[in-house]
């Protein structure tokens, strides 16, 4: 048995993450998202994640395989599964805490849109070309 001495806090422009578990097989963290802030419109190439809203209320934007977007609201106690390649964005309607459990690829993020200038130069063009090849 291994006891982790501290939780890693990672500051984000939309709030912060508390990473409390990370192994070769899974990772777990708490996302604290400030009211009115939103994460990148993004997807993960390998990472599969499940989320549980612990407190607050979030708006979830999802893009289906055909490119259609849906919007849903999740309240405390409701959950969501995001398989790899699912394009999504989360916005906090209220200050929110979201438990996330995922496969361990925490750096596997492809940002398509970002309010905080975190898209790498050339990434948008690369992402567009990848979508065109799929079509």
In whole angstroms, give the CA distance from residue 131 to residue 108. 18
Predicted pLDDT of residue 5: 72
Residue 86 — φ and ψ, nearest 5°? -80, 120
1 falls within a domain = no
| Domain of residue 28, CATH code | 2.60.120.10
The encoded tokens of residue 19 equal 């990473």
In whole angstroms, give the CA distance from residue 67 to residue 64. 5
The answer to which of 26-30, 53-57, 102-106, 130-134 has the lowest mean pLDDT is 130-134
Which residues, 6 or more positions from 22, have their beta carbon under 8 angstroms from its beta carbon?
A: 28, 104, 106
- Note the pTM of the prediction, 2 decimals: 0.84
The answer to which of 10-19, 64-73, 80-89 has the lowest mean pLDDT is 64-73
Percent of the chain surpassing pLDDT 70: 88
3 falls within a domain = no
4 — pLDDT class (breaks 50, 70, 90): low
The encoded tokens of residue 133 equal 């090849």
Number of domains the chain is built from: 1
43 falls within a domain = yes
**The domain containing residue 30 runs over which residues?**
8-134
Mean predicted lDDT score pLDDT of the chain: 90
Q: pLDDT tens-digit profile of 77-88?
A: 999 999 999 999
- Residue 112: name the closest of 130, 94, 134, 98 by CA: 130
The encoded tokens of residue 27 equal 């990772």
């Amino acid at each position: 048995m291994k006891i982790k001495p501290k939780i890693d806090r990672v500051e984000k422009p939309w709030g912060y993450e508390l990473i409390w578990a990370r192994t070769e097989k899974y990772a777990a963290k708490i996302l604290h998202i400030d009211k009115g802030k939103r994460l990148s419109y993004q997807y993960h190439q390998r990472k599969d994640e499940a989320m549980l809203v612990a407190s607050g209320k979030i708006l979830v934007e999802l893009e289906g395989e055909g490119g259609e977007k849906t919007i849903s609201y999740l309240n405390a106690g409701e959950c969501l599964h995001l398989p790899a390649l699912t394009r999504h964005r989360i916005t906090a309607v209220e200050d929110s805490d979201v438990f996330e459990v995922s496969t361990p690829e925490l750096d596997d993020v492809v940002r398509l849109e970002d309010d905080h200038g975190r898209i790498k130069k050339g990434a948008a063009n690369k992402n567009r070309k990848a979508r065109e090849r799929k079509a």
